[in-house]
Structure formats: C-alpha cells, structure tokens
Structure 1
Amino acid sequence: MHSLVFEDLLVMMAAALVAALLLRRLGLPNILSYLLAGCVIGPHVTGWVGEPESFAFVAEFGVVLLLFSIGLEFSLSRLLALRGSVFGVGGFQVVLCALLFGAAVYLWGTTVQAAVVIAGALALSSTAIVIRELSSLGQLHQRHGQLAVGVLLFQDLAAIIFLILVPVLAGAEEGGLASEIATALLRGAVLFAILMSVGKWLLPPLYREIARAHSEEIFVISTLVIVLLAAWLTHGFGLSMALGGFVIGMMLGESSFRHQIDSDIRGFKDILLALFFITIGMDIQVDLLLDYWPRLLLFAALLMLVKTALIALVVGLTGEDRYTALRCGLNLAQSGEFAIALLALGQLSGVVPADHASFIVLVAILTMAVSPLLLRYSERITPWLLHTLGVAPPVAAGIPREAEIHQGGHVIVGGYGRIGRVLAGLLEENQVPYIAIDNNVAVVDRARAEGRNVLFGDSANLQILRSCHIDSALLAVLTFRSLEQARAMIAQMRSVGINTPVIVRCHEQGHVRELLSLGANRVVPEMQEASLAIGAQMLELLDVDHSVIRQQLEARREHHGDVS
C-alpha cells in the first residue's frame, strides 16, 4: 500500500514538472499546468493514478494553504485607501454576478445549495493572475488597475462569507436553510473576532520570539502550526478549515513578518498547492470536455462577456469614463483559483455534484487560460470594442505609454543598522520613498515604532526582495555578510532579469571587479572604506597636502580593486 502511494506521488510530481515546463513557454500560470497534469494522469484519461481519493487530505490541506497565501496578500490599509472601489464597485459586482449566475445554474438543474457555491465561485476573479499581469505591465497604479485591485479586495472579503456557507449548505435542509445560514454567519463573526484578536495581540510577540532564534526551520514549523491551529479552530466551530487559513493569513499579512513568512514557507506551500491542483485535475471528468466542448467554450465566453459587461456597467455608474470601465471589466472577466478551491470544498462536502463541479472547473480553466491575453492586450481591445459599440474613446485613452504612472520609484535598503539609518534619513530628507529590510526583530520594532518603513526579513533572499518590488525599484543598497553570499545573490538577480541598479556593501574586501562583472553597479568594501577614512583624517592632522592624500587613497582603492 505504501509503495503504491509512493509511486502515485512520484507520477503526480513528474507530470506536474513536465506540464509546468511545457506550459511555461506559453506564458500560462502554473495552476493550469497542474490541473492539466492531473487530468492526464487521472482515472478519466490514462489511469496512472487510479485512486485520487487517497490524496483527499492533501487536497483539503492544500485549500487551507491556498487561502492562507491569499490572506497574506490581503491588505487592510490598501482596503481603506481604496474603500470607494472596494465597497462600491466590488460590492455591487459580487452581488450582481452572484445573483445572475446563481439563478442561471439553478435553472440549469442544480439544488439551491449547489447554486450558491457555484455562483460564488463564478462571481470571483483570479487575484494571482490579475495582480501579476498588471504589475508586470506597470498598470497597477493606473485608474483601471486601482479599480481592479479594489474589486479584488472586496472579493477576498466575500470569500470569507462563501467559506462560512459551504459546510452549512452541506448539512442544511432547504426548509431551514435561512436559519442555518444566519447561525453560521454569527459563528463566523465570533470566530473572526477571536482570530483577529489572536493576530493582533498574540502573534506579534510570538513571532518576535521566533525571529530571535534566527532559524528558518523554526519559522516554517511555527507558521504551519499556527495555520493548522486556525484551521482546527474553525473546524471546531463547524465551519470550513480553509476559513481559518484565510483569516490568519490576513492577520499575518499586516505584520512586519509577512515577507519572511511568505518566503520561508513558499517551497513547502508551492509543493502542497501543486498536489492540491493535481488532485483537482484528476477529479475532472475529461469526457465532459470531449462530449460537451462546444458548450464549454460557449459557457466560458458567456461568463467572460457577462462579467466584463456587469463590471463595466457598475464602474460606469460610479462616474468613470467608458474606456476605464471597460478595461476594468476585461481585467476581471475570468474566474480564478478561489473558484477551483471553493468548488473542491463543495464537492468534498457533497454540496456540488461531481459532474457539475467538473464542468464549472473546466469553464474556469478556460477563462483563466485566456485571461493573460485579455490583460496584455486590453489597451488595444478596449478602443476596438468601443468603436464596435459606436462609442468614441475618451481622450485619456490616447495617452502615450511613456506618460503612464511609473511603478515603483522607491529605494530598497538592505540592513537597518547605523549605515542603513543614515541612508534612510537621507532618502526621507530628499522625499524618496524607501523600504528597509532587517533580520533583527528588535531593530525592526524600534524603527516601526518611529514610523519608519522597515520590514523583517533577510535582504540576501531573492524572494524577500521580490516582495519589496525590486523589479520596479529605482535602486537597491544591499549589505552582505560575505563575498560568497554577495556573488551568489548578484548573479541570481541578474540571471532572472532584475536590472535594478545595485550598490553592494560587503564587510570583506577584495574581488570587487568580480562583483562588478556579475552585475553590481557599485561596490563598497566596508572595512576598507572605514580604514581609508581614518587614514585620510590621520594624514590631514599630519599636514599632508590634500591632493596627495586624494591620490594615495585612490591608488589604494585601485590596488584593492574598488574601481567603482
């Protein structure tokens, strides 16, 4: 038995690897690769893995981690800053789409309970795809991008409601459905208050103590235990375990430890999420695709058309021009990863029949596959659609790309010691935004108490730098403990296409030319510069001519390879 499980696991991971490598060339997200791999190896195609139910626990835990990761990306401060688009546009969009899609699938022949779950799944969009594409295109701070982010934030809030409803719908009779839902919402509110209190008062000091251990293993284990405890607590309240993961992710997403948490558990999380989406793919009844592919394509097209139209209508009612409204609609036209997770929960709970879940998942996959293209070419598609509808595009649509709002524009300061504080002070005096990173929790706490933008993390970790948007930063000043670490980090940054100018500060000296050849723009050997500064002061007190001092210092910099 153990041998069979091991072989199935090997087949699943190998299939995921092959699919990800192939679909990556097409620019499609890994989620689709894993779903495709699951379809191929599942019992409905090759049968290489004949019993997907053996991995049901992995699937459920994968949902918890998926919602935890979505929660980490949730931002209460951004929600308040965008409250107009969040509660106005987002609220109307979710309600209208849910009512329309719920009525449609109920007439299709589902139960009321299944209609609620499916409507919730279809009303929400893909946060991962939209944020990634808008960020890479430099459109997050354009008006249509801000509106899209606001709607996605409300969708994250709506996700909490749907997560509360799934287990209730599984056990409720239609006659007492209203009272069951009211009771569940009350339990959810109590649970939310408990987890909010834990996240605000208990987790910060706990993570400060964990951070002092300076151990990635302890960080990973601690985070997993916290997520599992939250899932266990929500399960004890009779609610979905995924709800606990999402709420605790929201709480940790507001802390200074967020980036380090995300970085430390990313590998573990990604593997489990890959297994989760593979198990979902194995449950997809592929014969539906073969028998009903015209209907699937039609449903996918209708879903994207209706969502685009409804979102554009709601945005237009807020006073935005038609161009912005339509681009926002195109941004959010797809279904998303939450739809797949919600349908998986619905199927595991017995609320949504397997064939219905498979059909809707296939529709969601088709919309997610098309979505990156819609996002990338919405600037061209929108004027064409407006012209087709007989509407003249506004003047704002013709603004050239170089006049668009510049993304990033900040400086990353790695290390917030004495030098880091000086650099941050200079940046503040010159009104240049910055993000400082330090792995000393006491330093971070003091700096944040003073109102400084300092986060906990290791600046020698590429994932931490990515979470600080190094791709769009003006400059990064990074401190490394050793030359080996500096070499590895600079080489890794340049190999993945990060072209941000970097000033490297090393405690050691030597090999400066090598770091410059790897891609560093400036290199400052800390000990050497300190000794040269002391030497300059010494020679001045000895009345040596300033020009002679300058020549001698430059000669020593050249001798040690500091040609920056």
Structure 2
Amino acid sequence: MHSLDTLSTFATSLLAASPAAHSDHLELIITLTSGLAAALFMGYITHRVGLSPIVGYLLAGIAVGPYTPGVEANVELAQQMAEIGVILLMFGVGLHFHFKELLAVRRVAVPGAVGQSLIATGLGVVVAYFFGWTVSSGLVFGMAISVASTVVLLRVLSDNNDLHTPTGHIAVGWLVVEDLFTVLVLVLMPVLFGSANSSLADIGLAILIAVIKIGLLVAFVMFVGGKAIPWFLARIAQTRSRELFTLTVLVVALGIAVGAAKVFDVSMALGAFLAGMVVGRSDFSSRAASEALPMRDAFAVLFFVSVGMLFDPNQLITSPGLIAATLGIVLLGKPLAALAIVILLRYPLRIGLSVAVALAQIGEFSFILAGVGMSLNVFTSQQYNALIAAAIVSISINPILYRLTDYLEERAKKSPRLWKLINGNSHVESTQQAPDDEHPEKHDHGQAVVIGYGPVGRTLCRLLQENGIEPTVIEMNLTTVRQLREDGMRAVYGDSAHKETQLEAGTSQADVFILSASGLRNSQEVIRLARECNPKIRVFARASYLREIPSLTRAGADVVFTGEGEVAMSMTEFILRQMGAGPEQIDRERDRIRNELFGSAAVLEILLPPTAKPMPEQPETSADEALPADPTT
C-alpha cells in the first residue's frame, strides 16, 4: 500500500508539473522540427520553380519567426544552432581552399575582389549618410553587401556548365579572396567597433594585439595541429569506424573554433577555417568532406532559417527606400564595379559579364558580418531586414540574370566600335586551363575509376595500365592509398558511397567505373552515384552471389560479374578439359552456362584503345584473377 501511495503521489506531481516542464524541454525539439520541416517544404517549392533552395530556407525562417502568425520557433535557440552551421560552413571553406587555385587567377581575382569590396563598402557609407547612420554602421553595412554567396555562385556556374571554364576559375578565385577578406574583417571588427571612446593609439594597439593573437593561433593550428590532427585522424581511421571518424571531424572543427574564441580571443569562424585548412592538406580531406557534409548541410539550413526568423515583413512598408538602395548596390553597383575591373584588366566582355552577374547577390557571409555587427551595436534591425530582403531578391533572380549574359554580349557585338573598344586588347591567360590538381590528368586512351585494391582490383589496374588507361583507385585502407601514391598511381582515400569522393577520383570525366570489391553493403548506392556523376560512364560491378545481379543492374551496372557464376564456368571448363572435350564443345557449354546463369551472354567488353595491339587469347579464369581477354556480346 505504501508503495502504491508513493507511486500515486509521484504521478500526480509529474502530471501537475508537466505543462510547463514539457514546454521547456520540448522547446529545442519544436524549434528544430518546425525549422527543418518549414525549410524542407519551402526549399522543395523554390527548387521546383527554378529558384535557389536558399530562398526557400529564408522564407521558412520568416514563416516560423515571431513576426508572422502560426508556429513560432525560439529565435535564441535557432541562433545558437546556427552558430554550429557557421562553424561547419567555415570549416568547409577551409577544407576546399587551395592556394594553387587562387594563384592561377591572382592577376584578376585579387585586385577585382579587393576593388569591388572597397567600392561596395564606399556605397554603403553613402547610404549611411543619407539615412543618418554613423560611419561605423555604414562601413559594416557596406562590407556585408560586398560579399557574395559561395553556395549560390557555385550552383549558378555549375548549372550553366561554366564552373570549369575561365569564367568559373576567375569567379571562384574572386570569391576565395572575398572570403579571406571577410575572415580578416570578422577578426578585426571587435577591435575596431568594440569601444566607442577609443583613441587612434588605443585602436592601433588593439589591432597589434589582435594580429599577434591571430599569428599565434595560425602558428599553433598550422604547425602543432598540422602534425597532431593528421596523426590522430590516422589512428581513428585504423579503427574502420565511420561513426568515430565523423565524430573526430566534428570535434576537430568545433574544438578548434571554440579554442580560438576562448584561448586566443578571436572569432570561431577563423578557428574553423584554419581547422579546415589543416584537414584539407592531409590524406583525409576527401573523406572528411564527405563524412561531415550531411551534418554541415543540416546546420547550414538552420543558419538561413534563423536569419529569416529575424525578418520583419512590415519593413517592406516602413523602409522601402532603404531596401531599394540596398538592392541597387547589390544588383547594379557591385556588378558594374566588377565588370569595369575585369575589362580594365583586359579580359573579354563575356568573362566580365559572367563574373559580374554571378557576384550580383549576397548570402551567408553577409549575415555573419551583420550578426557580429548587431552584437557590437553598430548594426540595426532595420539594416538587417534590408539585408535579408536584398538577399531573397538577389538570390532569386541571379540564375535568370546569368542566362542573359549571352544576350548582352550579342547586343554589344552589334556595335562594332563598342565591341572593339572592349575586346580590342583583351586576353585570357592560363585560366583557360584548370589547375593541374583540379582534375585528374587526361590520358590518350581514357580514364578509369576502380573501387577497391584487393586481388581483383590489383589485377584490373595492371590490365588497364598495360593498355594505356591510367586508373584512379578509391580505397578505404589508408596504408594502401599511401603506397599507391608512392608508386605513382593516383589514389583517393574515402568512401565510394559519397559523391564528393567519386568526384575527386574523376568519375565525372572517366570512361569506365569498375566496382572490384565484393560484399559492399552499399554497392547499389555506389553505382547510382557513379551514374549521377557521369550518365555516359560504363559500369562494371562485382558481386558475390547471382541473386545480386538484378538489383545492381537496376542501379545502373552494365555488366555484373559474380563469384558463383565465374566459379561454375571455370569448374565446367576444367572438367570438360579433363574429359578430353574439344575447344568448340567447351565454348558451346560455356555459352550455355552463361545464358542459364546470367540470362544473356555476358558483355565482357572493357575500355581498350582503338589502336591497341590485341591481347592473346587466354583460357578463362575466375573473376578473382582477371577479366577474360576475349570480349563477347
């Protein structure tokens, strides 16, 4: 009885406290669920109508924000989760940052990015003057609208097949300089705007201290972290645990970011950027990017949602002039400045137009700068709303404007004087070619991607090399990858089930994709991704059992080789030879078994150069030894 009374009392107290308690405990889950659900719905809608999903994420934030009716998510919790998104975004920027790419287009990217940023910042100060803001507020506003969105720019260039052209190289290099400039500004903003009554001497001293702290952080992360982080990642990789590796990447990104803020008193964004650079220079860059990508994307979505939650639609009525001025700078001031710089540096009009239009939008770094400005009380909610409105409009129409560059170029050609004035002395330097490391080396007889370097993969790679085809191996064994690189063979350490790993291996340019490892749990996904990267690629897959052939074929494999089938054919051939059967009878029986086991004759064609010397006929062996040399259809 006593126990029943105790249980009854506990249940009563729990029920009495549940409304408030559950409200507090579920607030994080409600914010996360409502934000992601709204982002999913609005992102899908905007994607279907041909707009960037970022627009949908911003609109989702408005829908669940405090200024619109319906579900209201917690703004403070959303912003805290968005901080993780900022850290992972900056980690990704550092992970893919390569000085070689910047050096290849330094002649136009460095002066172009700096010049455009200064012009946009100056226009921001002009707007501040007319609206009665302080100079500090105008500087932050100008810097915020000077930075384009990396996500949007890459998407627009990729959709128009310009990512690996001179236009794409210049635009990406331009954006890298902008990102570096933004990182520097984020570090210096607390120093420059943190105290209103500081003298020039105090500001100079503060800048000097900040530079020293940044130098110490860079030295510590690049030299100490450059040794410790790859060593630690190698130890984790040896466990072959995907969960531990992903956890390690997140701990490295978040840990260095938090350490940069707590120990060196600089922004977490800079710490995350440096952490990404360290990992990007190691053997684990591809795998780190692919493993951490889902987490990064999820929190990046929350970042844009949290930005949208701060937008007050009433500002469209109360501040139309400010929003129009902001859009004027983003859609006219920035692209005209970029176009003038590119033309003055004697690049063709087409490149100038394409780069200018691709940069005529604002995105993630703009909101990061604005957020720091608001924390320092030099950026108002009115400016923030104008920034969000300009972002939504500019991101929405940027793909449309980019498609008009051909039309604008044709219009300019109709004026011979104008065309000669603009293109008379234009030239394109080495940007016509991609940096050496950006794509796998092109070979006369094509390229091949081989998954796995066991006995089968080793034999296939030798066969490909002997016939003038240089293979690229994707392998999860780090020791094997390092040995292959020492031997001069191109190898990528990572999981072939991730698109980023396949792209780094060159699947998008390869002629044949060979899945030589059997027993992979995600073979179908690997093949599907290969088809997604390169619809024209020929896919040869290995399986353990005959029952796997239909599923692998549906996934996109052209030919599937199975251990069961190859053993059956090898044993049949051996027994017939022992019984004294002739070559014709052996071939007849072999074809009959192929038809019985595979449903049709196996296509054993492999990518051979048209002028290659035919290989001598050999007796067929099992799939674990080599591919048959005599192709049949």
Q: Above 0.5 in TM-score?
A: yes
Task: Flag the 1:563–1:295 CA change in 2: closer, same or farther, 3 A.
Answer: same
SS at match of 1:437: strand
1:525 matched residue in structure 2: 562
Taking every aligned residue pair, what percent have the same amino acid on both sides?
A: 27
Distance in 2, matches of 1:228 and 1:205, equals 18
Q: CA RMSD of the aligned region, Å?
A: 3.5
Residue 62 (structure 1) aligned to one of 75, 85, 92? 85
Within 5 Å, give how 1:71-82 maps onto structure 2.
71-82=94-105
Structure 2 contact 471–489 (Cα < 8 Å) conserved: no
1:454 matched residue in structure 2: 491
Structure 1 contact 470–500 (Cα < 8 Å) conserved: no
Within 5 Å, give how 1:257-268 maps onto structure 2.
257-268=284-295
2:592 matched residue in structure 1: 555
Give the residue type in structure 2 aligned to 1:553.
R
Give the residue type in structure 1 aligned to 2:496.
S
Point out the more displaced range, 552-561 or 221-230: 552-561
1:175 matched residue in structure 2: 199
SS at match of 2:269: helix
Instruction: Note the C-alpha offset of 1:475.
Output: 3.2
Instruction: Note the C-alpha offset of 1:37.
Output: 0.9
Residue 163 (structure 1) aligned to one of 186, 197, 201? 186
Instruction: Note the C-alpha offset of 1:151.
Output: 0.9
1:413 matched residue in structure 2: 450
Point out the more displaced range, 244-253 or 498-507: 498-507
Residue 43 (structure 1) aligned to one of 41, 66, 77? 66
Task: Flag the 1:56–1:120 CA change in 2: closer, same or farther, 3 A.
Answer: same
Residue 285 (structure 1) aligned to one of 301, 312, 327? 312
Instruction: Note the C-alpha offset of 1:96.
Output: 4.2
Structure 2 contact 545–564 (Cα < 8 Å) conserved: yes
Give the residue type in structure 1 aligned to 2:267.
S
Point out the more displaced range, 409-418 or 536-545: 536-545
Per-residue CA deviations over 1:388-409 (Å, capped at 9, x if unaligned) read 8973386999xxxxx999x987
SS at match of 1:125: coil
Within 5 Å, give how 1:68-107 maps onto structure 2.
68-102=91-125, 104-105=127-128
Task: Flag the 1:528–1:320 CA change in 2: closer, same or farther, 3 A.
Answer: same
Residue 442 (structure 1) aligned to one of 479, 484, 489? 479
Distance in 2, matches of 1:389 and 1:361, equals 41
Give the residue type in structure 2 aligned to 1:313.
A
Residue 230 (structure 2) aligned to one of 204, 209, 227? 204
Point out the more displaced range, 456-465 or 148-157: 456-465
SS at match of 1:350: coil
Give the residue type in structure 1 aligned to 2:181.
A
Residue 354 (structure 1) aligned to one of 378, 381, 391? 381
Indicate whether 1:215 and 2:241 are aligned. yes
Point out the more displaced range, 140-149 or 445-454: 445-454
Per-residue CA deviations over 1:216-258 (Å, capped at 9, x if unaligned) read 2111211111112111221021111111112211222233322
Distance in 2, matches of 1:230 and 1:106, equals 40
Point out the more displaced range, 175-184 or 130-139: 175-184
Distance in 2, matches of 1:421 and 1:98, equals 57
Task: Flag the 1:225–1:132 CA change in 2: closer, same or farther, 3 A.
Answer: same
Indicate whether 1:334 and 2:370 are aligned. no
Distance in 1, matches of 2:425 and 2:552, equals 45
Per-residue CA deviations over 1:62-110 (Å, capped at 9, x if unaligned) read 2112212222232233233434344344444444444454555466444
Indicate whether 1:276 and 2:303 are aligned. yes
Point out the more displaced range, 228-237 or 464-473: 464-473
2:392 matched residue in structure 1: 365
SS at match of 1:138: coil
Give the residue type in structure 1 aligned to 2:409.
T
Task: Flag the 1:55–1:102 CA change in 2: closer, same or farther, 3 A.
Answer: same
Within 5 Å, give how 1:217-236 maps onto structure 2.
217-235=243-261, 236=263
Distance in 1, matches of 2:108 and 2:370, equals 27
Distance in 2, matches of 1:433 and 1:396, equals 41
Distance in 2, matches of 1:382 and 1:238, equals 49
Distance in 2, matches of 1:167 and 1:533, equals 73
Structure 1 contact 459–478 (Cα < 8 Å) conserved: no
Task: Flag the 1:93–1:230 CA change in 2: closer, same or farther, 3 A.
Answer: same
Structure number with the bigger relative contact order (C-alpha 8 A, sep ≥ 6) is 1
Structure 1 contact 477–505 (Cα < 8 Å) conserved: yes
SS at match of 1:45: coil
1:314 matched residue in structure 2: 341
Distance in 2, matches of 1:129 and 1:441, equals 34
Alignment length (residue pairs): 557
Give the residue type in structure 2 aligned to 1:225.
V
Distance in 2, matches of 1:433 and 1:92, equals 43
Per-residue CA deviations over 1:116-152 (Å, capped at 9, x if unaligned) read 4333322222222222232233222322222112212
Point out the more displaced range, 140-149 or 408-417: 408-417
Give the residue type in structure 1 aligned to 2:539.
I
Per-residue CA deviations over 1:250-288 (Å, capped at 9, x if unaligned) read 222233322322222222222222222211111122221
Give the residue type in structure 2 aligned to 1:43.
P
Point out the more displaced range, 239-248 or 540-549: 540-549
Residue 144 (structure 1) aligned to one of 149, 159, 167? 167
1:400 matched residue in structure 2: none
Structure 1 contact 340–364 (Cα < 8 Å) conserved: no
1:474 matched residue in structure 2: 511
Task: Flag the 1:91–1:7 CA change in 2: closer, same or farther, 3 A.
Answer: closer
Q: Which has the larger radius of gyration?
A: 2
Distance in 1, matches of 2:468 and 2:128, equals 54
Distance in 1, matches of 2:188 and 2:372, equals 11
Instruction: Note the C-alpha offset of 1:38.
Output: 1.0
SS at match of 1:464: helix
Distance in 2, matches of 1:167 and 1:452, equals 49
1:345 matched residue in structure 2: 372
Distance in 1, matches of 2:205 and 2:118, equals 21
Distance in 2, matches of 1:112 and 1:436, equals 56
Structure 2 contact 58–304 (Cα < 8 Å) conserved: yes
Per-residue CA deviations over 1:452-490 (Å, capped at 9, x if unaligned) read 332211113345335656455433222453386334544
Structure 2 contact 57–301 (Cα < 8 Å) conserved: yes
